[in-house]
Amino acid sequence: MLRTALLAALAAAALSAQPPKSYPVLGKIVRESPKLDALLAPDVRIEVIASGFEWAEGPVWDRRAGHLLFCDIPNNAIHKWTAEHGVELYMKPAGYTGVGPYGGEPGSNGLILDPQGRLILMEHGDRRVARLSPGYGKQTLADSYEGKRLNSPNDGTLKSNGDLYFTDPIYGLPNRWDDPRRELDFCGVYRWSDGPLSGGRLTLLYKDLSRPNGIAFSPDEKTLYVANSDPQRAIWMAFPVQPGGTLGEGRVFADVTSMVDRFPGLPDGMKVDRDGNLWATGPGGIHIFSPDGTRLGRIDTGEATANLAWGDDGSTLYVTADMYLIRIKTKTRGPGW
């Protein structure tokens, strides 16, 4: 009933010449600590600003252009959203450029904009990390490790020195674990460096997670968080970042395996705010953790929630949750805003 009502409201808005003055809402805020009040107002709305996607992912806000980009992975597309015009197709194909069908998740997943405004794509179908430079087309940054093709790059984050850290699970392979095209027997966490001495070097940092997924740095870049989207071990790891950019011994930052059977979703995309709080999608929506790992509460969307990004002035969270694109106003901001 909820989905039917939301779709009807969004369809009616789409027939109008102007974007709606208000949007449908869904879900609820679960407050587990009074500290959450400093991050989310009591009357905050979980607004559905677009719908009808098969599986939305990878949102990123373009500060220069003032729009949001996000993926619809099964449909091999990237869309653009603005408050003025709503959703418009931005790129298709967006992840798989071969001939014929390629599994159920051929498109791009995580999206990043580098300081030069170039779009970095984690491409499931083409099994690579690519960079799109306006007017120059795509450039492959990484597609293999030690001569073996990557599985399907999933999500990534940029360090301030330009290094790209990304995860490589098996979700984009048509048959996942059992796909005959699979060449690596692990799912890795990698660093791609493009400094003057590295020449585009790919370094394996960690390979002992079964399904590494979302990834994010703490504001001081001393900690790297990595989600593991395995229903049997639904956790977030925290790794100390060494001076040379490698990772020290990781620890389990939070474990929500007990929630998997009771709520939709798994640990997936994540972002930190300027104070180091972690906003991480997982079973039950978006979990909000203080830097010490205390869960302050959840944004319970009621849907399997994939990923999120800071946008507007840095205080708005744009969220992809199954078929929905959602917006939530916060009382904090992303780092650097």
Of the listed ranges 6-10, 155-159, 198-202, 218-222, the least confidently predicted one is: 6-10
Contact 107, 122 (CB under 8 A): no
For residue 258, what is the DSSP state? G
The confidence score (pLDDT) of residue 195 equals 62
Q: Is the pLDDT of residue 11 over 60?
A: no
Residue 140 token pair: 């492959």
256 SS3 class = coil
Q: Which residue matches tokens 């059977």?
A: 261
The confidence score (pLDDT) of residue 103 equals 93
pLDDT tens per residue, range 319-332: 999 999 999 999 99
Domains and CATH numbers, the chain: 27-329 (2.120.10.30)
Q: How far apart are CA 248 and CA 237, in angstroms?
A: 12
Q: Is the pLDDT of residue 21 over 90?
A: no
Going by pLDDT thresholds of 50, 70 and 90, the confidence category of residue 12 is very low
Instruction: Report the mean per-residue pLDDT for the chain.
Output: 93
Going by pLDDT thresholds of 50, 70 and 90, the confidence category of residue 6 is low
pLDDT tens per residue, range 74-126: 999 999 999 999 999 999 999 999 998 899 999 999 999 999 999 999 999 99
Cα distances (Å, whole numbers) of residue 100 to 71, 103, 267: 20, 10, 31
The confidence score (pLDDT) of residue 190 equals 98
Q: How far apart are CA 22 and CA 334, in angstroms?
A: 25
pLDDT tens per residue, range 292-312: 999 999 999 999 999 999 999
178 SS3 class = helix
Q: Which percentage of the chain shows pLDDT scores above 90?
A: 89
Cα distances (Å, whole numbers) of residue 180 to 15, 174, 176, 183, 238: 46, 9, 9, 8, 32
pLDDT tens per residue, range 153-195: 999 999 999 999 999 999 999 999 999 999 999 999 999 998 6
Q: Is the pLDDT of residue 199 over 70?
A: no
Q: How large is the average pLDDT for residues 131-138?
A: 89
pTM of the model: 0.92
Q: Is the pLDDT of residue 62 over 60?
A: yes
Q: How large is the average pLDDT for residues 115-143?
A: 94
Q: Give every CB contact of residue 71 below 8 A, 6+ residues apart in sequence.
A: 56, 57, 58, 77, 78, 79, 94, 95, 107, 108, 109, 111, 320
Going by pLDDT thresholds of 50, 70 and 90, the confidence category of residue 286 is very high
Q: List, in sequence order, every beta strand (DSSP E) within 83-241.
A: 86-91, 108-113, 119-123, 128-133, 137-142, 144-145, 148-149, 156-158, 164-168, 188-193, 201-206, 212-217, 223-230, 233-240
Q: What are phi and psi of 225, to 5 degrees?
A: -95, 140
Q: How large is the average pLDDT for residues 232-247?
A: 97
Q: How large is the average pLDDT for residues 247-259?
A: 98
**Cβ count within 10 A of residue 288:** 27
Q: Is the pLDDT of residue 16 over 50?
A: no
Contact 187, 168 (CB under 8 A): yes
| H or E element, residue 14 | helix 2-15
Q: How far apart are CA 133 and CA 188, in angstroms?
A: 26
| H or E element, residue 324 | strand 324-329
Q: Is the pLDDT of residue 56 over 70?
A: yes
Q: How far apart are CA 184 and CA 201, in angstroms?
A: 18
